[in-house]
Structure 1
Amino acid sequence: MSSFSAEKAPGRCGAIPHQVVCRTASGSLVGRSRADGTVNWAVPGNSSSSGGGKSGPLVLDSADERAFTSAERVLRAANLRTGVQVWSRQLPAGREAVGLMAAAGTVYALDAPSDGGDDTDLALGAYRASDGSPVWREQLHADPGGGFAAFGGRIYTTDGTKVTARDARTGTPTATTPPGTECPRLLSGGGYLVCTGSPVSASDTFPPLQRLAPATLRPLPTAEDSGLKPGSGLVSSKGVLILYEDSADDPGAGAWNAYDLERPRRLWSYPSSSQEAGLVHGRFVTLTDAYGPPKSRLISMDLRAGPEGTGAAAPRMSPPPQQAWDGERPALIVPGGDAGHVVVARIHPALRSVPLP
């Protein structure tokens, strides 16, 4: 276990198979060994930032060995192995990044007015991951909380109703969803695109799940969902969507539901109040219900068999972490690339490497 100081508590963390990287509200980065938690390197943040602002996004790109982050109007990249800052770039005056994504040697930054003005006044910029040089920047209407995706040579955004695909090399729009397609939130993974309702909606009715064809954005046959309020969602490379769906009237009385995207059907359901989850080594990993005895602990399930799996597909559970407190809700930080052997959990406040059950 490694201590997680109050200075770092406002930040965000991510993990790759060999390292955990955390950032603070001021934009500083700290790289820790995934094996033992020791600090390998640190990159100072913006000297002009007080650290009291909201934490910007953090993206770790194993392929290019880069950590990308932002604070105020500055985008920065650091080498994941050495911590050396490899470039920084300023956004236009009065703008700040509200979303970051990296794919195929490019980092994409979604920026919005920093004064809290019209949050539909967004722009999407593409920058070379190697040196930060700009490739293109396009104004667009989008929902900053609606999610965006980058794969297959295209970038996908949603404005809360329609989805737009853009050429990753030029930013030129190439397709939009047909009229009548609702997409408050866009989920992606493994080359799949799925539209769901928004987890921040004040309504008690939500658009149904809708899978989209990535090339044309036309709707494809999709399993019927539960009709509850959508929350966190993960899409596996094997075509399984695992979506947390909650009661709009009684929040916390929700469940993780798994859907087969190729043969549209619901596969299983696992009641839980925790929306912390990841996909590791071909299994779904989450935390047991924080309100149930004993203390919350890790559980992993086969993607298709879920909690009812047997034999090699049976659920597996970790011992309760000794440092956890009753009712505590730790966060999961899951190494990318299906590392398989560990999941890192944050506990009051600490980083703890936990073997994958």
Structure 2
Amino acid sequence: MGAALLVLVGCAGNTGSGGPKSPAASSPSRATTSASVSGPWRAWTASLTRPEAHGSCGATAHQVVCATDSGGLVGRSRADGRVTWTVPGDAHAKTAQLLVDAADERAVAGVAGVLRAADLRTGKQAWTRRLPAGRAYFALGATGGIVYALHAPDPFTGTPAVLDAVRASDGTPLWHRTVSWSVGEPVAAFRGRVYTSDSKRVTARDARTGATLATSPAGVECPHLVTGGGYLVCTGSPLSAGDTFPPMRRLDPATLKPLPTPRNTIDMPVHGVISDDGVLVLYEAGAEDTSAGNWFAYDLKRDRKLWSTYATESDAAVADGRFVTFAPGNDVARGRVVSLDLHAGPQGTGSAAPRMSPAYPQTRDGEHPAFVVPGGDTGHLVVMARTHGSLRSLPLP
């Protein structure tokens, strides 16, 4: 989504190089002012408070930002992970939607029926919007100075959702549209368009006006939409109840018509990432048990499969032009971050050879770790450990 990072995964004091401390039950320690940090990212660990551990974290090239499950926002230093600013929240939900939009200098948290934005430069609250009782925010996107927030009745029962467009700088409403949508589907926004999916068809709207510009053909099944790098790919859904899955289809972002796609998936597509240069890496597993499967890499531009490697279900990301995930949980090398060249995969040599991090407490399989990727070529990753809430900034292998 361009410079915007949409994070759907769930930060106080520096703990040095040791393991995570037990998370506190209270809110993060309060900082008096926002503080900029000169120089590159550095290695550190920091414990998470419970509200942060139950929320989401994202990052820009200059700081880490976490959304709490109460709708607050917390900024953390890239130098040591310490809290530099906080914006308190007053809502509560089991999950937090978080959008970190570096281009517009905004972090936006959607928790229950409250949408709250912070200024990334000053660390102060920028604006807040509230929904009527019984509605909640489920997905966020941003492009060109506009934030897109999709909300629906909670619990969602199939009632049409609503997509709101608001100005990123001050939260001024610009337009809203009733949309067909399915739980878990993203809001993707790039190149002047915003995309939504209802697990059957994809719709493209003008980012400035909300006018419908294109709809995917009725004969193209799209149970799940994978986005990234300006690409749209329809795959089967991990929510499928069957053993066979529709063909994987790349869609033209302008017309939403299908483009040549490398192959059909054999096993169930569970989740995937797409790089800026058009490499889709998709985790596929058996429909009966998704705990073990394979990562498959596809070159979307050249319409071919690149490589595959065994894996157990875990988070993945694209960082500094490489694919990163965690070593299989049942492997002797478990508890480590694995970095692969996007095009060469596990068979790469020289500068394209696979790399592996040391084992850290935060990267253990039992911690349910997730990646937070700073924007730009920082050379670092941040791993969020959910079981014993903490963050670790580590050099990209």
TM-score when scaled to structure 1? 0.94
Q: Which amino acid aligns with 1:65?
A: E
Among 281, 301, 319, the alignment partner of 2:320 is: 281
CA contact (8 A) 1:74 1:96 kept: yes
Aligned partner of residue 163 in structure 2, secondary structure:
strand
Among 124, 141, 149, the alignment partner of 2:180 is: 141
Consecutive unaligned residues in structure 2, runs of 5 or more: 1-44
State yes or no: 1:94 paired with 2:144: no
TM-score when scaled to structure 2? 0.85
Q: Return the offset for 1:187.
A: 1.4
Q: Return the offset for 1:7.
A: 3.5
CA contact (8 A) 2:298 2:304 kept: yes
- Paired with 2:299 and 2:362, the residues of 1 have a C-alpha distance of 37
Aligned partner of residue 205 in structure 1, secondary structure:
coil
- Paired with 2:361 and 2:112, the residues of 1 have a C-alpha distance of 38
> In the TM superposition, what whole-angstrom CA distance separates every residue of 1:253-277 from its partner, at most 9, and x where no partner exists?
2111100111111100011113311
Q: Which amino acid aligns with 1:10?
A: H
CA contact (8 A) 2:337 2:363 kept: no
- Paired with 1:279 and 1:185, the residues of 2 have a C-alpha distance of 20
After TM superposition, the structure 1 = structure 2 runs for residues 72-111 of structure 1, keeping only pairs within 5 Å, are 72-111=112-151
Q: Which amino acid aligns with 1:255?
A: N
Q: Which amino acid aligns with 1:12?
A: S
Structure 1 window deviating more from structure 2 (150-159 vs 317-326): it is 317-326
Aligned to 1:173: 212
Among 158, 167, 176, the alignment partner of 1:128 is: 167
State yes or no: 1:186 paired with 2:225: yes
288 and 325 in structure 1: CA distance in 2 versus 1, 3 angstrom threshold:
closer
Q: Which amino acid aligns with 1:215?
A: A
Q: Return the offset for 1:124.
A: 0.6
Q: Return the offset for 1:293.
A: 2.0
> In the TM superposition, what whole-angstrom CA distance separates every residue of 1:325-345 from its partner, at most 9, and x where no partner exists?
5754322111133x3411111
CA contact (8 A) 2:58 2:100 kept: yes
327 and 54 in structure 1: CA distance in 2 versus 1, 3 angstrom threshold:
closer
Q: Which amino acid aligns with 1:342?
A: H
Among 332, 344, 350, the alignment partner of 2:382 is: 344
Aligned partner of residue 291 in structure 2, secondary structure:
coil
Aligned partner of residue 51 in structure 2, secondary structure:
coil
State yes or no: 1:13 paired with 2:53: no
Aligned to 2:97: 57
> In the TM superposition, what whole-angstrom CA distance separates every residue of 1:92-137 from its partner, at most 9, and x where no partner exists?
45322111111110000001013x1423420111000001001100
Structure 1 window deviating more from structure 2 (196-205 vs 31-40): it is 196-205
Aligned partner of residue 8 in structure 1, secondary structure:
helix
- Paired with 1:325 and 1:185, the residues of 2 have a C-alpha distance of 29
Q: Which amino acid aligns with 1:15?
A: A
Structure 1 window deviating more from structure 2 (121-130 vs 78-87): it is 78-87
CA contact (8 A) 1:147 1:185 kept: no
- Paired with 1:121 and 1:350, the residues of 2 have a C-alpha distance of 37
CA contact (8 A) 2:148 2:187 kept: no
- Paired with 1:243 and 1:336, the residues of 2 have a C-alpha distance of 22
Aligned to 1:4: 48
7 and 54 in structure 1: CA distance in 2 versus 1, 3 angstrom threshold:
closer
State yes or no: 1:252 paired with 2:259: no
After TM superposition, the structure 1 = structure 2 runs for residues 309-324 of structure 1, keeping only pairs within 5 Å, are 309-321=348-360
Q: Which runs of 4+ in 1 moved over 3 A?
A: 322-329
> In the TM superposition, what whole-angstrom CA distance separates every residue of 1:9-36 from its partner, at most 9, and x where no partner exists?
2111111122111122111111111221
Aligned to 2:276: 237
State yes or no: 1:28 paired with 2:72: yes
State yes or no: 1:290 paired with 2:297: no
Q: Return the offset for 1:298.
A: 0.9
- Paired with 1:327 and 1:150, the residues of 2 have a C-alpha distance of 34
Aligned partner of residue 112 in structure 1, secondary structure:
strand
Q: Return the offset for 1:179.
A: 1.9
Aligned partner of residue 174 in structure 2, secondary structure:
strand
Aligned to 1:196: 235
- Paired with 2:265 and 2:165, the residues of 1 have a C-alpha distance of 37
Consecutive unaligned residues in structure 1, runs of 5 or more: none
Aligned to 1:272: 311
CA contact (8 A) 2:297 2:306 kept: yes
- Paired with 1:92 and 1:325, the residues of 2 have a C-alpha distance of 41
- Paired with 2:82 and 2:291, the residues of 1 have a C-alpha distance of 36
257 and 136 in structure 1: CA distance in 2 versus 1, 3 angstrom threshold:
same
- Percent identity for Structure 1 against Structure 2: 54
CA-based RMSD of the aligned residues comes to 1.7
- Paired with 1:141 and 1:161, the residues of 2 have a C-alpha distance of 10
Q: Return the offset for 1:302.
A: 0.8
Structure 1 window deviating more from structure 2 (263-272 vs 3-12): it is 3-12
117 and 286 in structure 1: CA distance in 2 versus 1, 3 angstrom threshold:
closer
203 and 34 in structure 1: CA distance in 2 versus 1, 3 angstrom threshold:
farther
Among 39, 50, 66, the alignment partner of 2:106 is: 66
CA contact (8 A) 2:51 2:70 kept: no
Q: Alignment length, in residue pairs?
A: 351
Structure 1 window deviating more from structure 2 (321-330 vs 31-40): it is 321-330
Aligned partner of residue 319 in structure 1, secondary structure:
coil
